[in-house]
Amino acid sequence: MLSHGRRRGDATHLFTREDGEPLHPQRLTTMLASRAAKAGLPVVRLHALRHGHATAALEAGVPMKVVSDRLGHSSIAITADVYFHVAAATDRVAAAQIAATIDGGIA
């Protein structure tokens, strides 16, 4: 896994200082904004990237439990409450796919 800084044996943080301690979230936000501006990209909040990742994962069919674990939520219910709109849209697509298969199989 790529990270900024050194990874401690028990590290659960992706971005760390050189001594392995986690970076403060505000520092990450500042770094992200600076690099985005230099690259000519819009500046987005760090939390928006987290939300975007979860949304994309659910839309791609990643199970809710896996997304919940990746986000560090204490229960799948939290993930389901926050991302219900994505799950509902994915459910409609699944229903349409199942219906198409059933309709296609009827002679």
**One-letter identity of residue 56:** A
**One-letter identity of residue 85:** H
Sign of CA dihedral 52, 55, 61, 65: positive
Which tokens is 86 given? Answer: 């994505």
- Name the pLDDT band for 16 (thresholds 50, 70, 90): confident
- pLDDT digits 0-9 by tens, 28-57: 889 889 999 999 999 888 888 889 999 999
Q: What is the pLDDT of residue 105?
A: 64
Which tokens is 95 given? Answer: 């229903």
Other CB atoms within 10 A of residue 67 CB: 23
Has residue 4 got a pLDDT over 80?
no
Has residue 73 got a pLDDT over 90?
yes
Please work out, in degrees rounded to the nearest 5, the angle formed at the alpha carbon of residue 42 by the alpha carbons of 39 and 46: 100
Give the C-alpha separation, 37 to 30, whole Å: 11
Mean pLDDT of 45-70: 90
Has residue 5 got a pLDDT over 60?
no
